[in-house]
Structure formats: structure tokens, C-alpha cells
Structure 1
């Protein structure tokens, strides 16, 4: 039977010499069995063994079975053999055999190379990985694992058991806090005998870190643990969920109806306001209908159109083409709905709807009211202008006869008669001034006021205005100071209107300045502008009244020496704005008032034309 074995087998006598071998042995050494016995041809020549004891000698001396691996050249090929020799029986005869393990060794080497390559790849991964053998000892870990656990590499190189690693993590507060840690460790250790399918767990560490741990059975026995730090991911997911909830709640409480259609034209999102505006039920919309179906649901309010099919087709095309547009629907129930279509970054399209029926009706009512007010104001202005024109003729007659009487053309008057005549003349002049102011305002409001523009000396304007008012100023016991540089130059303006501006500003200053006060007139260039200022040290104007005093028939303060009609400052503002300028007022109660008119040095052609009506 031994002769038929395919691997070498041999026997040795007590003197350790070969006493028998099978044909496989003889073939391995390139000889015949009888020659092998005769010449004592060994599989492993003594020269290769050197001074070391032979395997047979060790087996003879120690008894039992002894094995070793040796490379041997057989039939011209280098083979790896596992040589085994054992002492048997009381006489310790030696029986030996050799197995060719070349293929197994090659496979084992290939396997080791694959394992090494895999370990190198795993070491480069950013995912922390640890592999434990079936004996629960740590067989492999990568750099990411070291970084995650801040572990002592010298400790890990000792191949600690899983239990020892868990205890090490606990000592460094890198293991989860547990009421019964031993129970927790026992449950984790049980994975080595019970794990069949991959298992995923979340681990919450004392420092707030959250890990996702995947335990996978290893093909060679044991377990491979993969770790992922999901702290930021969970926080982001929580923030995202919160944001989505906030957005959902916001959409649900918007007054605007919102509908979002995907790039495929299907309804992805809608809010209660959308249902309310279009009188829709939520159930059909919950099935994500196409835009064409939604339009059919909206048709009862959209109404019958001459070309409904064309309208629907155009709406679908514009929406799917992500065209930004806005418009208004006038619905069959009388409601008016504004819409706006906006493309979203993800390829979807958002359409918002807002019921503006009440706003439109209120706007229409307001427009009608404004038109009625404008018409009434126009009629009032025309009436005042017509009455003013009609008053001029009898007023001129009264002024003429008053002047005749005052000049005593038809006889001498006594003192009382002269006083009456002078009083009539003064009252007539004031009334004429008021009528002229009213007519000017009416002309401006009607848009028919044209300016006669020419070059006007600013210094002469201020001096002439002061001279014109000098007697009145003297009567009120006030002082006048004019501060104008000789080279202040001129500006383009209507001389008559500018004199009216100065007259009204100085009149206003006289009325509100107590006896002994002063009025200051000044002018200076500021770039392309001329700043003309009238300043007093009178009673001043409260800040809340400073915008109001430029209105028609408004008085700055009831404490004025003489109460006017309240048209002076309104005319000043109108004339300055006709010239393309503006007015700035600076005043505080008890500190006086400073009014500055800023006028362009050169008027534009637009301001030289008749002013347009304010309405």
C-alpha cells in the first residue's frame, strides 16, 4: 500500500539509516528504491543541513513526531516539502513522509500579499477601521482609528483583546457613559459569537461626539469595526429638519397661495392659502397632479376663455421653460388675483397667488376720491381766481377815489377825514396785495406761470428789497444788516418774482421779531448754487410746525405783530421751486429763524417754461 502512495515515504532503522522507501521517494531523488537504500540518498542532503541535527535524530532522541519545511529540487523544479519523521514502537523505528506544499505555500503567500495590500488601502482610508481576530485580539487598525481614539500605538501593537481596548477607552473617558459598564462590555463581547449579519449602532461619547459604528463579520473570523463621526451630520440633519419645519409652517401661514411645480410639471408643494384662493380640495392635489390637471381644477374661477386650450398650452410651456412672469387674473366670482412665477435653483418653478380684490377696490375708491378732490380743488382755485379778478375792478376804483380824497383834489379835508382817507388807501393796498398773491398761486396751480428770466444782480436785489421795506422796519424799531460780498455776482431769475420772494421773507421776519431786534440779509455762492438767507432773532418756529408753515393759509405763530392771510411763505416756496431751487429752514423757539433759498445760478430750459400743475 505504501508503494502506491503519491508522496515519498521511508523507514529508518535504529541507526537512522534508510531501510526502505517507496517509488515516490526514489523518483523524488532521481533514483531507484534499492539504490536509495544502498547509497543512503537523502531528500535533504547533509550539506544543506550543516551541523544541525537531522530531523530523524531529533525524533529518535525526543520521541514523538517532528516536522520541518525544506525547499528541495525535484525533477529540476524547486519544491517546498513538509518533512515529517516519527519514532514508533519500543525499538523507536523511524517512519518518515514528505508532502509537497508548494501550491499551498504559493497560495498562502498570495493571500498574505492580498491581505497586506488591503491593509495598506485601509490604512489610507479616512474611515477609522479596526479588525479583531476570532480570538478577540486586535489584528489591524488604520491611522484614522488612531486619530479618532487618540490611542497609544505602542499599546495597540501588543494586539490587545477587545475587552482590554474597551477598558482602555473607559479609563480615558472615550467610551459611552453606562450605568452598568460591565453589562455593556459583556454585550459588546457577545458580538464575537453571535454576529452573523452587519450591525449598525450609534455611540454617544462623553465629549458630545456621536459615532456610527458598523460591525461586520470578517471572512477569516472575528469582526471588523468601521467608525464614522456623525456629530456634525446629525447636527446638520437636525438643523435641516428644523428649517424644513419652519419653512413649512411659514408657508402654511402665508396670505399668498404657493404652488411649486417640478421640472416634470407635477405639483410638488402647495399651502392652505392656495387651496383657499382657488376653492380647491387638498386630496386631489396630494397625488401630485400635472400642471395641466391643476389648471383644469382652477378653470371654474379662471372662466371660459375664447381659446382655453391655447391658454393652457402657453401656460404650461412658459412654466416648464422657467420663464419669470407676473400678471393678474380677474375671476368669475369678481375676485382679482395677482400671480408671480419664479424659477427655483433646483429646476422647479414657484408660483405665488395673492387675492388683491379688496386692495384693488380700495385703490379704485381712492382714485375716484382723489379725482373728486382734485376737481373740487380745481374748481375752488378757478372760483378764487375769478372772484379775485372781479374784485380788482371795484378795488381799483376805491383806491383811485381814496387817493383823490387823500390828495384833497376836490377840496380841503379836516384831520379826521384825512385819517379815514389814508386808512382806506392802506386797506385797499393790503387787499390788492392779497388778491395778487391769490392770483399768483392760482396761476401756479393751473400750470400757467411763466418766468421772465434774466441776469439779476444778487447784491442789488437784497439792497433794493431792504430799501423797499425800510419805512416799515423803522416803524417796528428793528435793525437791518446786509452781508453780501462785492463779487457775489448774479444769477438767472425772474426779477419780479424774486422781489416777491424777498418781500414776503422780510415781511415774515418783521412780523415775528420784537422791537429792538435785527434782521440779517446775506447771500453767497456755493458751487453752482446761490444761497440767499433771511435771518431774524425773533420768537422762532417749533420744529413740528416748520413743514406746515409753507402751506397755503398757514401762519407760523399766533404771536405775530400782524396776522397775515398765510400766503406769503407758500408763495416763496412756489416761486423758489419754479426756479429749480429749494428752501431750508433752521429755527428754534426763542432763538430766531433762518430761512435759506438755494437757487441755481443758471436755470434749465425746463424751469423757464410754464410750470405744470401740481395735480
Structure 2
């Protein structure tokens, strides 16, 4: 019987590697000591820089308050006239280049004297500050400095001090020089300084946009430290991008702000990192030399292991017939025998699973290819993973093998190809779209529904699109529209007659009527007028949908039209306690358009906004002039539109949020007319809305519209 030699004894020679153990321990210990000392020095430098910047701001505030005390003392002279006070303020302004304006405000909040720096204040005017919180505090006897704000790129502070006689001195100063110092503070390649206010919002930053937007930085650990009231400190933290940083902070004591200096950790500790890398390199070289000896010894032991690795690779590829032969007479021989036994069991299990998978695949394919709708699955680049027979017929795909090929290349109809290309690109969204495939008298419509295919663990596999033929539904909808239009047209003439006879009776041409009869006739007249307007709206929608409405292009003045609409709608707005206003139309250009139709479009949008805006809300008509088009927006502060209604809000007879217990507001045709009216002018209309905050209906029109020889509207 062969004697087994234990694997432990064969590897005993590898213990030579322990020769590098003392070297590794000493080297790593020295690396750690030097790294800690260097990091402490870097953090101390950051802390000193943050403290210096914070003290600079505190010194500026102290100096500002000293100047204000001088102003107050100078203005207390009883016999000083207003002109002399103005001279005092003007002289102070000329000696303080960071002062924007200095004004004296009476107890009612009106500025009675104001001097200004023409370089910083281009359009000065006397203001009423009775609602200004800073003024109110000063009027009550306390002086304060307001929150920082921006005028363009210029950071400013408002300061208010009480004066005798119920007056307040109100000063606006620019802190642009202080901010420039913060912007120009750079440390290494990535280090910089920034400033936060007491709420943790950024007010000074080298990326000026973040400061102007008052970006919230309270999620940063170092900002939380400085806001907690600590005096000075430093910290390692992770910024909002997930980058490891080191930094220091110091409070701006006079204003409760916080000055922060930060630098990427890799940049700050680059010297320590390089030192560590060099030391590790020498340790690795030593280890490699010792390991070389162990390798020569272990080479004889590695061959059986390599055979096992090759055998495992064969099993991974599905080859369960490969046997591993080892003749080492040790534990590796036992391992090889166990591996061969495992391979045999895996083969038996694999044969059983293949039969089950084939059965499940057959069931799945039967369901997919028997369903009436078309089904297409692609990856995110548009390559086909699955397509049933119905999808091939709807998409006009030939009978050749298309799996793994680009879907767009195999679709005969370019309209379908373009639509599916847009749908597949909208990742992470559920997209529902209708595609019109009609050709001449032959009508065909397909509705597509697209979703992301995910595993149970949330991994994205691709996009599945279901194609449903809705031609029959569209035909039924067309028949319904034709029926409504026909009935409406037939009702128009008798309704006109009813209105005419009602007017004759009301004006007394048919004889005298008493007051009660007159009230009845007024009700008849008003109701018939509403019904006739509804009939005209339905007919106009039908004309716009079919292109039968003839547009008359003439000079259209948006400014004049908006002013006229505001005069007309003002009574309704006042009744509803809604503020109606406009902006941006002072220098608005005139364009060529059907002025009557466009006035109707704007009127419908404004009327709709007033209806859905609660009392004390506002409706604003906004004009924007672009090089090739004009844009008009009607914005309200109403209840907003639920997301489910945004795609259908311009459809006929649509009413947002109409339940059984709610009263309808109008016919639901106003937005439909607006949509078709804008599109008839080759423009675009859309809506943006947020629940509880209001809606914005916007549309744009090309500036150069003309009629072609065929009478069609085209861009000149």
C-alpha cells in the first residue's frame, strides 16, 4: 500500500516567506506614523485658511457697523437741513465704494432721501419698504443685517438702523470684493473655499451658479459640523458626488455663517500617498524575492491543481464526460476522485433539467405565438430578441430570421420605424402611443404599449412592445364624431330662429310683454346663446380637424389683443377674486396670422385659467420674443392638472377631475379649439402643471407665415 504524503509537509518550504514579515511590519508602521503627521499638518493649514477668511468677513461687518454708527451720530445734529443730510450721505457713499445706496426712510416706509452709486445702481428709484422685515425691525428699535441676495452676479446685503424721530437709515452694500477673495482661494489642484449661511445654503462658491441658486449643503457632514455651533475644526468627509474630501471650517461670528475650505483627499494627501506607494513597492520587491523560492518548491504541487482547474472549466462549458487523473498519492488524489464523482452527479441532474426547460419553453412560445396582439422584444440598442407572427404582419417584416438584428432595418413602413425608434430610446419609461398607418381610403391604426423588461432583482433585460390593432375603435370614434357633427349642423338653423324670435319678443316688436315674461325671454335668450356657441364650437372643431376652416392671414398685434382680452375678462376675474395681468408685450412684434382665431385661442386659455384658479390666485399672460417665433404663456396658480390628464387635456369634451358629484365647467372644447388653431398656424401648444401650484399653457407661432399658391399656410 502506497504511503500518502500530507500536503502540509510539501508546503512547509513556503514558510520562507516569513522572512519578509518583520520588514512588512516595520515598514507599514513607519508609513502610518509619517502619514498621520503629514495629514495633521494639512488639516491645520486648512483650519488656518478657513479662520482667516471668516475673520476677514467679521472685520468687514465690524467696519460696516462703525461707519453706520458715524452716520447715525452725524445725522443727529438737530439744526442739520435735509440738503445737508444728503451731502453727508453722499460724502460717505463716495468714500465707501462698496455702498450701493443709502436712504433715510420715514415711519411709513417711504424713502425720503436716497443717494446711490451710479456704477452699481443703474436705475435708482424711491421705494416703499413698509413690508420689508428688516425695516420693521429697525422701526421697533433694533438694528440688523438682512440675508444675502444676488443682483445679477453681484452679492449684496441690506442694513437697517433706527434713527430718532421714528426714521430708519437703510443701506445696501455689495460684498463683491470679499466674495472675490473666496473665489480666488485655491489649494492644490482641487481645493477651494465656500461660504454657507445659517440655514446651510451656499452663498459664495467658485461655481457661482450654486451660490446664486442658494444650493442646500446641509447634507455635507462638514457643513453640519459648522452649523452645530462649533468654533473651529477639520474633518474628512464625502461630498455630494461621493468623492472623499478633507476640509476645515470656521464660523463667521457676526452673521452666524460658516466658512468652509475643502480639498479632494487624494489631492491633499498626495505626498503621503506617494511615500506610501514607494514603501509598499520595496516591500513587494522583498516579498517577490522570497516568494520566488516558494514558487520553485510549490511548482510540483501545482500541476494536479491545474488539472482540477481544467476539469472545472470543462464542466462549466457543459462537458460532463471529462475525467481528472491525478497520481500524487495524497489529499489531491482524494480531491480528484471526489471531483469526478461530483461531475457524474451533475450530468444526471443536467439531463433532468434540460427536459424541464424544453417543456417550459414550449409552453411560453405557444402563448406568445397564439396571442392576437403583436409582441416585440428588443435590447436597448434596438436589436430583436423576440417577435411573434402577428408583430411581423403588423410591422411588415419579411419571413427571414431577424433575431439579433436591428429592428428598424427590417420594418417596411418608415412611419412605424420612426415611432418605434423614439419609443425604444425613452428608457425607464412606460410609453403608450398610437400610430396612424392609413393610406388613402384604407384606414389602419396601431396602439403600442412599451415597458422595460426586468428580472425579479430589478436588472434591465430590454424593452417589450405590445402592438394592438385599434382600427375598429377608430372607425367607431369617427362614426360618433360624424354623427355629432351632423346633428349639431342640423340644430344650428332652428337654434338661430329661436334666438331671432326671442330677440323680437324682447325688444317689443311683437307687442308689449310684462316683466315676468321678459325674465323668461331673457333666460330663453341666454340659454339659446350658450347652446348656439356650443354648436358653433363643435362645428369649428370639425372644420379645424379636417382642414376646412379657411384662415385669413393679416397683421396680428399680440399686445393689442392681450390688452383687449384683459379688458373683456377683467369683470370675470374680479368676480372670482383672481388677479389678471400681463408681461413681456411692451416691445412685442406684430406677425401675420388669423387674428380672430388667435384672439379666440388666447381668450379660451385665459378663461380656462380663471375658471380653475381659486380666489386670491393670479393669472398671468406672458410674452416671449424669439428670432424665428413668438411664444405666449398663460400661467395660473390654480389647483393644477393631475398627471393622468396631461396627455388628454386637449382632447374633445375632456374635463379635468369631473366626477359624478362635480359640476361641469364649459363644454370641454376650448382647449381643443386652441390646439387646432395653433397647429393650423404651424405652431405648437403644450401644458406644464404641478398639483397644488398651478398650470402653464404655452404655444408658439412662426413669425413668417404666408399662403402658398394652393392656399395652404406655409413658413415664408
Bigger relative contact order, structure 1 or 2, given CA contacts below 8 A and separation 6+? 2
Decide which structure has the larger Cα Rg and report it.
1
Q: TM-score range by the shorter chain?
A: 0.3 to 0.5
